[in-house]
Structure 1
Amino acid sequence: MTDQMTDQKARASQWFHDLRDQIVAAFVALEDSQTDGPLSDQPAGRFEVTKTTRQSDDGSDAGGGLMSVMRGGRVFEKVGVNISTVYGTLGKPAQQAMAARGVPGIEDDPRFWASGISLVAHMQNPHCPAVHMNTRMFWTPGAWWFGGGSDLNPCIEYDEDTAHFHNVQKEHLDPHDPALYGKLKEWADEYFYVPHRGRARGVGGIFMDDRNTGDWETDFALTQDIGRAFLPAFVPVTEKRRNTLWDDADKDTQLVHRGLYAEYNLVYDRGTKFGLATGHDANAVLMSLPPMAKWV
């Protein structure tokens, strides 16, 4: 591995950590500013931060990260913001999956390094949409690539909220390539589709994987802008809806929609499968699951 790639890995890992800090601070500010409306009389939520670890098959250290989870806040019912940097060798299932995706050299050399941020927020108010965001860098001896994106998951849809979320994504992607937003939106529509339900899990967003144009700096800059788009895309929607009154029917709609979200993450999500297959902390991997859900 070259010194240049070592430096690039460090830069990517630090960026995900910095983005994590920005998002955690913004979410705490949302909790503190919730002084009117439902649940405003209860204590503002705070993140519980736990170190996570990964061990290789021989028990040696293989990296880890931070799991930051807030439960029972004024705005957030459960939100997790995780970062990790892990490394080692891929187990056979993960190695075979990478080979099937065309990762060069992975069949002969299963070493890997991965770093990223993963966020899922489930809201108290059914009129506030749940949201998901992640960005990551992955390295093997034969290749490197970036991936990630964000998507909005309202149980009660508002067209203007969907438009705002998508417009902010587009504004951040257009400087890289005016055609890029359309491509990544279409990719998100395909990726976040729930085949056994015949529908999308939400109103979409942007998504990419295996991003390697051959220019690391360009691809890293794009990944950073995907991360930078998250707060201005999501926070104004939350601020707009958080004081809306809800009833039991709204809450029931939210719980049923969360069931759909849980089904997708457990059955189809590539990140969930990879995290469990490579031995990362199961609580961190499954942080995305809602605190309560319902099936009918």
Structure 2
Amino acid sequence: MFETEKSTASAWFRDLRDQIVAAFEGLEDSHAEGPFSEMAPGRFEVTETTRQSDDGSDAGGGLMSVMRGGRVFEKVGVNISTVYGTLGERAQAAMAARKGIPGMADDPRFWASGISLVAHMQNPHVPAVHMNTRMFWTPHAWWFGGGSDLNPCIEYAEDTAHFHATQRAHLDPHGSEHYPRLKAWADEYFYIPHRKRARGVGGIFMDDLCTGDWQADFALTQDIGRAFLPAYLSLVERRRVQPFDEAEKEAQLVHRGLYAEYNLVYDRGTKFGLETGHDANAVLMSLPPLAKWI
């Protein structure tokens, strides 16, 4: 049961990954003026990742695609994975508490597939960004999650407005209630309690989506993914040519410190990936190449 749905979702996450990788390499090729344009265009290095169960058997894997030191991207990762097996006791307890799923102790099998993206940029005027979409299945339930959020160290109101408007345009066909609900969810989720501030200017976020209509929930998840490139590419094209000074680069590095704190302390995906034994380098690819704390 659900084998067709699983393979459909996994294949779509792979297709979205291919579109984004091609678009990002296209940005590298087209950056012909402005800071860093004299450098060689960056290219993704692609590595297969694997996950092993506790008994050493195959438990899935994926592709880790990372570009470092490009003209536009200082570091960007676009990862996909499809993993399966049984949840360990800690992961079972966390999942049961969060979702109230009965029977996890008796049948802790799971399957999960998704795409995860984080981009840290060369030019501090270009905002960092995060996006992911995923599907999770157990014998007791299935659900979708994901979203994207913008993380500028130097905020431009028009960039923030464009990012949010594009997401709303993709969500509204599924119902006008979705965008305000997912925006509020992102504002709550991407908040750093110990700093008493958001990590960026928000976006959309959802988790635990299971209305009982798999096709409708998958369609909404797809449009969260489809919104990403039109929401983000024009911002990169607009800001990558701007000159910057030392103080602005310093502001970028300090802001990256906030991003690292959030991902290591609060991010559910980081915790789940490490607890279920996925490749640690793939799980932690979201961390910036350089950051500062003051």
Q: Decide: shared fold, TM above 0.5.
A: yes
Work out the CA distance in 2 between the residues paired with 1:218 and 1:158.
34
Whole-Å separation in 2 of the counterparts to 1:225 and 1:273: 26
Task: Tell me the residue number matched to 1:269.
Answer: 267
* One of 68, 73, 98 as aligned partner of 1:71: 68
Residue equivalent to 1:119:
117
Aligned to 1:99: 96
Alignment of 1:127-166 (within 5 A): 127-166=125-164
Shift of 1:160: 0.3
Q: Secondary structure at the match of 2:147?
A: strand
How far off its partner does 1:179 sit?
1.1
Alignment of 1:18-33 (within 5 A): 18-33=15-30
Secondary structure of residue in 1 paired with 2:174: coil
Residue 72 of structure 1 deviates from its aligned partner by 0.2
Structure 1 residues 79-94: aligned runs within 5 Å? 79-94=76-91
Distance of 2:5 and 2:118 partners within structure 1: 26
Of all paired residues, the percent bearing the same amino acid is: 78
Alpha-carbon distance in 1 for matches of 2:36, 2:190:
31
Bigger shift: 213-222 or 95-104? 95-104
1:16 to 13, 17, 30: 13
Other-structure match for 2:200? 202
CA distance in 1: counterparts of 2:288 and 2:124, whole angstroms:
13
Which runs of no fewer than 5 residues in structure 1 stay unpaired? none
Q: Distance in 2 between matches of 1:80 and 1:28?
A: 12
Aligned to 1:40, the other structure's residue is in SS state coil
Paired position in structure 1 for 2:49: 52
Question: Distance between the aligned counterparts of 1:289 and 1:258, measured in 2?
Answer: 8
Residues in 2 aligned to 1:188 and 1:88: alpha-carbon distance in whole angstroms: 30
Post-superposition Cα deviations, 1:2-36, rounded to whole Å, max 9, x if no partner, equal 2xx10000000000000000000000000000000
One-letter code aligned to 2:106: D
Tell me the SS of whatever aligns to 1:174.
Answer: helix
* Equivalent residue letter for 2:50: T
Secondary structure, in 3 states, of the residue corresponding to 1:175?
A: helix
Aligned partners of 1:119 and 1:132 also within 8 Å: yes
- 1:41 — aligned with what? 38
Q: 1:288 aligns with which of 281, 286, 289?
A: 286
Q: Which runs of 5+ in 2 are unaligned?
A: none
Aligned equivalent of 1:236, options 234, 237, 250: 234
1:103 Cα deviation (Å)? Answer: 2.4
1:58 shift after superposition: 0.2
Q: Secondary structure at the match of 1:108?
A: coil
Secondary structure (helix, strand or coil) at the match of 2:290 reads coil
2:189 matched residue in structure 1? 191
Is the 1:104–1:143 contact (alpha carbons within 8 Å) kept by the matching residues of 2? no
Distance 1:74 1:283 in 2: 23
Task: Measure, in 2, the Cα distance between the counterparts of 1:178 and 1:60.
Answer: 45
Instruction: State the 1:109 CA deviation.
Output: 1.3
- Alignment deviations for residues 144-199 of structure 1 (CA, whole Å, 9 cap, x no partner): 00000000000000000000000000000000010110000000000000000000
Q: Partner amino acid for 2:86?
A: T
* Kept after mapping to 2: 8 A contact 1:99/1:107: no
Deviates further, 101-110 or 85-94: 101-110
How does the TM-score come out when normalised to structure 1?
0.98
Q: Runs of 4 or more off by more than 2 Å in structure 1?
A: none
Q: How many residues align?
A: 293
Query: SS state of the match for residue 293, structure 1?
Result: coil
With structure 2 as the length reference, what TM-score do the two structures score? Answer: 0.99
Q: Deviations over 1:198-233 (max 9, x none)?
A: 000000000000000000000000000000000000
**How far did residue 106 of structure 1 move?**
1.7
Cα distance between partner residues in 1 of 2:101 and 2:162: 36
1:104 CA drift (Å): 3.3
Q: Distance in 1 between matches of 2:246 and 2:287?
A: 22
User: Pairwise CA RMSD of aligned residues?
Assistant: 0.5
